[in-house]
Amino acid sequence: MEPIVTTTSGVIRGHTEAGVTRFLGVPYAAAPVGPKRFQLPEPAPAWDGVRAATEMGATCAQPPYPAYADALIGSDGIPGDEYLNVNVWTPDPGAAGLPVLVWIHGGAFIRGCNAKPIYDGTAFARDGVVMVGVNYRLGVSGFAELEGAPSNRGLHDQIFALRWVRENIAAFGGDPANVTIFGESAGAMSVAALIAAPGTAGLFHRAIMQSGNGAVAADPQDARKVSAALAAELGISPTAADFGKLGPNELIAAQNAVALALMTDPDPQRWGRSVIAMGGGIMSLFPVIDNDIVEGPPTEVLTAHPDRAVPLIAGTTADEFRFFTVPAGLAAGITADALPFLFTRYGIDPAVAQTYSTQRPDATAAEIFNAVMTDLIFRASTFDLAEANATTASTHVYEFAWPTDLPGLGACHVLEIPFVFDTIDDAHTLTGPTPPQPLADEIHAAWVAFATNGTPGWASFTSDQKNVRIFDTPESTTVPNPRAAELAALRQAFTLA
């Protein structure tokens, strides 16, 4: 069956299979190529006739993942200019008033797309939700701070896509007054920025942050240091005019060189304190304070503007940082003697290791390092944003604790995604061969319930009762303020910010 839907740019044809209809690669904005790569998004040009929307669309040009990450989750890359597109899964385009979930993918703001198999929205549509997956500008194209270009172009794309959803989602059976945004990693950081941003009220009504951070917002002077390094690598000036003359391959090559330099030498004097403190040496390009849509770090903005809070789920995996050290072979080289140097490098008082070691007496030095970095980059800031949001809106916090079957990775970064989407059969390179289907059923159902009526099914998080849902087998539990001593020690030990 090939259903027809009319959007604001024209008529599209989808495909229905097993009770779910898919419309793939639908442009929500004009192709951002050439000089337009560094301008605000514009409406997609209208087309004549019926456009096929049955195959995944183009993705923003990007480097492949390092080999270790590629082996776990695969790299992305579909060539083409019309990469500002959405995928829509719906149980029935002829329905009305269905809840809507809008997915913002991760990838450290330099990688990712809406076409990954683990992001397939079939299970959400099967369970009565219209799901939309969004592509946006990445890396230099989306986040380099350049003279003559608006800041945060990637975030502007996301807002533009949400406006497209508001104007078009009823044609797919969705309710524009019941939209939940959700994202993971950079996508979750984007969600935090969108919650805090002025002018986004009414574009979404609930939010879910998976493995994100509420503190990410680079100082513009620091962001310009990264752009200056990019320009020096290319032999041009850090202006939109000069960058707009180059093709994506040249931009990606410079982006890779600067990212490597930042990772190997995370010197705050060279790159700026906010780039190091908020990027953790992993991200070189990310949202910047522009006094437009990013007024400051989201938690700080939300604290100052509690009226911007929305019903929220926010959480992390238990062992986020292992994703970045174990498969790359870095963890094997972390010894007790190396910990003081490593912590100092990231602006952390090495004394913090004592608290974590006391709480985890059987942990290796690498496990202590990964636990501290998990809390520094993900968990502490997630708690902070949740607490700020909870002052005026219902807030629920979780931790995904089930460990993958792959040795040493534990409950690492990205692992919860196939459980949320109920796509674990497409994720065995990450989960191992026998991921627990009942856990996928549980967490997926919680996300569906939250998108439908705002109640995921566990006790809310408040400043007094910091309840956290621990998703694990053989059963999940709700725990008040887990590992509070470690978080308290980390807050005292982190001196850079």
Would you name the residues annotated as active-site residues? 185, 320, 413
Distance CA 252, CA 92 (A): 40
- Using CA atoms, how far apart are residues 189 and 126, in angstroms rounded to an integer? 28
Q: Which helix (H) or strand (E) holds 303?
A: helix 298-304
Tell me the β-bridge partners of 182: 103, 208
- Residue 321 CA to residue 61 CA, distance in Å, equals 26
Phi-psi bin for 458: left (phi > 0), alpha (psi -120 to 50), beta?
beta
Q: Which residues contact 195 (CB under 8 A, 6 or more apart)?
A: 207, 298, 302, 308, 309, 310, 312, 389
β pairing state of 85-90 and 130-134:
antiparallel
Q: Which of 223, 204, 74, 198 is nearest to 142 (CA)?
A: 223
Please enumerate in sequence order all residues whose Cβ is within 8 A of that of 141, keeping only pairs 6 or more positions apart, or say none: 32, 37, 38, 60, 61, 153, 154, 248, 251
Q: Phi, psi at residue 91, to the nearest 5°? A: -70, -25
In this structure, what DSSP letter does residue 73 have? H
Q: Give me the DSSP letters along 392-446.
A: TS-EEEEEE-PPPSSTTT-S-TTTTHHHHTT-GGG-HHHH-S---HHHHHHHHHH
At residue 61, the 3 state secondary structure works out as coil
CB atoms inside a 10 Å sphere around CB 296:
16
Distance CA 27, CA 15 (A): 17
